[in-house]
Amino acid sequence: MRVISGTARGRTLKSPGEATRPITDRAKTSLFNILGTRVIDADVLDLFAGAGSVGIEALSRGARRATFVELDRAALQTIRDNLALTKLADRASVVRQDVFKFIAQSAATRYDVIYVAPPQYKGLWSKTLVALDDADLLADRGTLVAQIHPKEYRDLALKQFALVDQRKYGSTLLCFYQKVSASSNLLT
């Protein structure tokens, strides 16, 4: 697991072990190719952050800030170590909290990119998207991405968000959502 591009390009990131499932370099490269310039000067929220690979990649590529939310202590220490290694800690916030509590308590903040990568096969991805749908954390022209196993996917009845794209990379499915009101901003 490494930083693909930007100021920290080539740095090898630590992994907290088997408690997390990091995104593959192939899927991460494709994710950021799809997001493109949307990451520059963006406020990024990395939920179920694991090693922090996605948020760190965003910072390396020019994101203004990244907030990493994780509950596991070993993963939190790994995120802090990876931020120090990449020299990106000054633009990052690391929060030890349950993701659902964080969402419920963060109504005043808006993010340009929200990345959701929960443990597999527990239904947490859909519960997280429903919680985000009830909150107002995504900026009007923002993008919400869920990383899941393809077998987990199901259509969700969301009020705020529309599924605008899906990309499959082996056992990783990336689902891209945007606000329904941002129909002119849809990913292509």
CATH of the domain at 46: 3.40.50.150
Check residue 122 and give its pLDDT: 84
Cβ–Cβ contacts within 10 Å for residue 66, how many?
Answer: 30
Taking CA atoms, 21 is separated from 11, 48, 171, in Å, by 19, 10, 11
Range of the domain at 81: 25-185
Looking at residue 155, what is its pLDDT? 93
pTM (two decimals): 0.93
Domain count, the chain: 1
Beta carbons of 6 and 57 less than 8 angstroms apart: yes
Q: Which stretches in the chain have pLDDT values below 50?
A: 188
Q: Is residue 12 one of the residues assigned to a domain?
A: no
Q: What is the pLDDT of residue 25?
A: 87
**Per the domain annotation, does 60 fall within a domain?**
yes
Look-up of token digits 């859909």: 126
pLDDT on residue 98: 96
Cβ-based neighbours of 84, under 8 Å, separated by 6 or more: none
Task: Decide if 178 is inside a domain.
Answer: yes
Alpha-carbon span 74 to 16, nearest angstrom: 6
